[in-house]
A and B are shown apart, each in its own frame.
Chain A
Amino acid sequence: MNGDMPTGFASWLAHERSCDAGIDWLDARRRNAAERVREQGVPSSRDEGWRYTNLKGLLEQGFLQPDEPITALQPDDLEEVLVPGLASHRVILVNGRFVPELSLLEDLPPGVRVSGLASLLASDPDVLKDRLNAVAGDDLALFAALNTAGLDDGVVALVDRGVLLERPIELIHVSVGLDEPRVAQPRNVIVLGAGAQAIVIERYLSLGDSLYCTNCVTEVSLGRDAVLKHDRIQTESPSAFHISGLYLRQDANSRYLGVNLGLGARWARTDLNATFGGEHAECDLQGLYLAGDGQLMDYHLDVDHSVPNCASRENFKGILYGKGRAVFDGRVFVAQDAQKTDAAMSNRNLMLSESAEVDTKPQLEINADDVKCSHGTTVGQIEPEMLFYLRSRGISAPLARRMLCLGFAGEIIERLSAEALRDQVSELVGQRLESAPLS
């Protein structure tokens, strides 16, 4: 299976053979994924999805995927990792591996199953046969293919039909600095049965400022009438590379409310893909990114309206300062039969510095006539009238700017599922802005 892997990614898949699970269907999917990596090679700026995103910095690092789990996180370190006041069913992954002794899964109600992917593959692989890779599919994009080919662990959360889970499931992915730069490729599978309701919080963070790469893929499948609130918060180390793929599939009448926050990492690429399997489903994708000095925040949304009567909202906001860069590439596709589609995409950017840069590309592809589709983009700076108004009330200029930025960000932050999370994120954003050169 080795051989002609694209240079730069070969080391990601050194692991490919060693974790051969001996499960036929899984091995077949991984072989296919490896093949997809070979086929695609390393994309260049000529590839539409990589027009504004340079992979050079990532490839230069020579990231390795470790064979053995390295989970050097002490219970004492947990303090730093948890959100004060957030009560959750907690799953902790360290460097891509599930750590049961730090996780907190005792109180799960009946009908809810949360476990490590590797252990589930060992104990009950059949549960995953129709679920793992089911949403992402065989036609995998490069990094999803790498994740699948190099798959070793992650989290599986299954909520049975009709179950209303009150407390959120919190998935905390911690990266701990290692001697050599490593890549972690966790794979998460979230499945809600018909009528089930749940909150899932995914957080990616690190202790310290070390260099590493996270290439995570989360697959979400919502049954008929299911409701999922899904917060995904990335506060990786300032030296880190973060690649994240979300694959979402919704059955009829289901609702998905997703909030994506990109606050850390030096280079972050997020691909969000949503498809509908039944009518009257709603998909709400909200996002906020902060791109400061030397940071790249790169978002790609692909919402596929292939059935009628579904609604989607794509609302992303960014704040850029220093030499920060952001890319927003959103696509809403409406198939010929998808009448009564209601889609609205918006990308708004606030630029605070001379050398920040934003490239935005909100696209609509519409093949049905009875639809309501719109998109809007703005790039601008803080309005002088707003600043003056605040100053005329006695507020200093730097604080006024920060308040306006927080106000801008607040619309997204307030969508987060838990108060404790909103408070923590607001504070973090405030801190980031405080240290940012705002002129």
Chain B
Amino acid sequence: MLSVKGLRANVGDKEILRGLDFEVGPGEVHAIMGPNGSGKSTFAHVLSGREGYEVTAGSVTFEGKDLLALEPEERAQLGLFLAFQYPVELPGVNNTYFLKAALNSIRKARGEEELDAVSFLRLIKERLKILHLDDSLLKRAVNAGFSGGEKKRNEIFQMALLEPKLAILDETDSGLDIDALRVVADGVNALRSAERSMIVVTHYQRLLDYIQPDHVHVLSKGRIIRSGGKELALELEEKGYGWIDAEGQAA
């Protein structure tokens, strides 16, 4: 479903990703772990098409298409979803309106009919429950004045609504207390299915206690230096990133 080969990317003059190889199959949950500055967020941003990154080599195919050639909205319409580490506040932009515009643009691209107001409202109310979100949220502006936990929950709520094929969760756990983390993780788990893949980007193992990955990868200096099962995450937690780095250097 997603195939990344030899991906190299720069921010300004600095090379952040240095030949990254990565494969995700349908229904798989991959965790990408790594110390700060290893390129985790850059990878998530490059996949979703954020500006400010220059891909210098390599390829990314998603559902058989050259992902890097697509605009951000085309990627989303194809079924890619990024849950932001720092969700953006959009003062004055009504949440319901925003969600409806997003959902219908994706449905349209898939050749599905746009939802009318009634079925749309029914759908979002149903999805709100998954995240234990209050429907007053719908009247508010997107993320404006939300607490940190609310913002992250809102991201997962959007994911529930837009039903992506591949979701990238960029440090969704950062800044969350344990209760909020549990709510978010429950939401994510409820959305797991055989057709939906996920990439969980995180610094800490604790998120993986709640979202069990099929594969764990360790990113260091822009490359995946180790891959394994979920036991790799535990090992990392125990020994710290220094262990991996030292090993990486030895290798």
A and B, direct touch (CB closer than 8 Å): yes
Which residues of A are in contact with B by a Cβ distance under 8 Å?
A: 383-386, 388-397, 399-400, 403-404, 406-411
State in angstroms the CA–CA spacing of A409 and B94 once bound together: 12
Some 18 contacts from A to B, beta carbons below 8 A apart, are A384-B51, A386-B90, A388-B51, A391-B76, A392-B48, A392-B84, A393-B98, A393-B158, A394-B77, A395-B73, A395-B101, A396-B105, A403-B93, A403-B97, A403-B98, A407-B90, A407-B91, A407-B94
Task: Give the Cβ gap from A433 to chain B, nearest Cβ, in Å.
Answer: 14
When the two chains form their complex, are residues B106 and A385 in contact, meaning their CB atoms are under 8 A apart?
Answer: no
A392 and B155 alpha carbons, distance in the complex (Å): 12
Convert B60-72 into 0s and 1s, putting 1 for each residue whose CB lies closer than 8 angstroms to a CB of A: 0000000000011
Give Cα distance in the complex from A404 to B77, angstroms.
20
Alpha-carbon separation in the docked complex, A397 to B74 (Å): 10
A-side contacts of B91, CB under 8 Å: 407-408, 411
B88 to A385, Cβ gap below 8 A? yes
Closest to B91 in A: A407
- Partner of A391 from the list B72, B93, B94 (CB cut-off 8 Å) is B72
- B82 interfacial contact with A, CB 8 Å: yes
On whether A394 and B92 interact (CB within 8 A), knowing A384-B51, A389-B84, the answer reads no
Q: When chains A and B are docked, how far (Å) is the Cα of A48 from the Cα of B224?
A: 65
**Contacts beyond the supplied A392-B76, A404-B90, A407-B90: 15 A-B pairs with Cβ under 8 Å:** A385-B88, A386-B88, A389-B90, A390-B73, A390-B98, A391-B71, A392-B50, A392-B75, A392-B81, A394-B73, A395-B101, A396-B105, A403-B101, A409-B92, A410-B93
Cα of A191 to Cα of B174 in the assembled complex, Å: 58
A residues less than 8 Å from B98 (CB atoms) = 390, 393, 403
Q: Complex: how many Å from CA A397 to CA B77? A: 13
Q: How far is the CA of A388 from the CA of B98 in the complex (A)?
A: 13
Query: How many whole Å from A81's CB to the nearest CB in chain B?
Result: 28
Bits for B80-109, please: 1 = Cβ < 8 Å to A, else 0.
Answer: 011010011011111001100110011001
Residues of chain B lying within 8 A (CB to CB) of residue A406:
92-93
Contact B93 A388 (CB under 8 A): no
Tell me if B141 counts as interface (CB < 8 A to partner A). yes
Give the complex CA separation of A383 and B93 in angstroms: 13
Q: Are A394 and B162 in contact (CB under 8 A)?
A: yes
Is the Cβ of A392 less than 8 Å from the Cβ of B73? yes
User: How far is the CB of B142 from the nearest CB of chain A, in Å?
Assistant: 8
Are B92 and A388 in contact (CB-based, < 8 A)? Answer: no
CB of B49 closer than 8 Å to a CB of A: yes
Q: Is the pair A391, B73 in contact by a Cβ cutoff of 8 Å?
A: yes
**Provided the pairs A384-B51, A399-B105, A403-B97 are in contact, do residues A393 and B90 lie with their beta carbons within 8 angstroms?**
no
B-side contacts of A394, CB under 8 Å:
73, 76-77, 102, 105-106, 109, 162
Give the docked Cα–Cα distance between A394 and B48 (Å).
11
A396 CA to B77 CA, complexed, in Å: 10
Least CB distance from A390 to B in Å reads: 7
Instruction: Give Cα A389–Cα B142 distance, bound, in whole angstroms.
Output: 11
Determine how close the nearest CB of chain A comes to the CB of B209; give it in whole angstroms.
28
Of A383, A386, A396, the residue contacting B73 (CB under 8 A) is: A396
8 Å CB interface, B29-79 against A? 48-51, 71-73, 75-77
Which B residues are CB-close (under 8 A) to A410? 92-94
Which residues of A have CB within 8 Å of B92? 406-411
B246 to A: closest C-beta gap in Å? 37
Distance of A380 from chain B, by nearest CB (Å): 13
The residues of A that contact B48 with a CB separation of less than 8 Å are 392
Given A392-B48, A411-B91, the answer on whether A397 and B71 have CB atoms closer than 8 Å is: yes
> By the criterion CB–CB under 8 Å, are B105 and A388 in contact?
no
Between A383, A394, A395, A408, the greatest number of chain B beta carbons within 10 A of the residue's beta carbon is seen for A394
* Contact partner, B88, options A389, A395, A409, A411, Cβ 8 Å: A389
Asked if A395 contacts B102 (CB within 8 A), the reply is: yes
Contact in complex: A388, B141 (CB < 8 Å): no
Per the bound structure, the CA–CA distance linking A384 and B77 in Å amounts to: 20
CA gap between A392 and B105 in the complex, in Å: 11
CB interface residues, B 150-177, toward A, < 8 Å: 158, 162
Inter-chain contacts of A397 with B (CB < 8 A) = 71, 73
Q: Which residues of B contact A404 (CB under 8 A)?
A: 90, 93
> Taking the nearest CB of chain A, how far is it from the CB of B186, in angstroms?
22
- A293 CA to B93 CA in the complex, in Å? 25
A410 to B73, CA, bound (A): 24
Name the CB-closest residue of B to A383.
B88
Give the residue name and chain of the A residue nearest to B78 (CB).
Answer: A394
Residues of A within 8 A of B88 (CB): 383, 385-386, 388-389
Q: Are B105 and A407 in contact (CB under 8 A)?
A: no
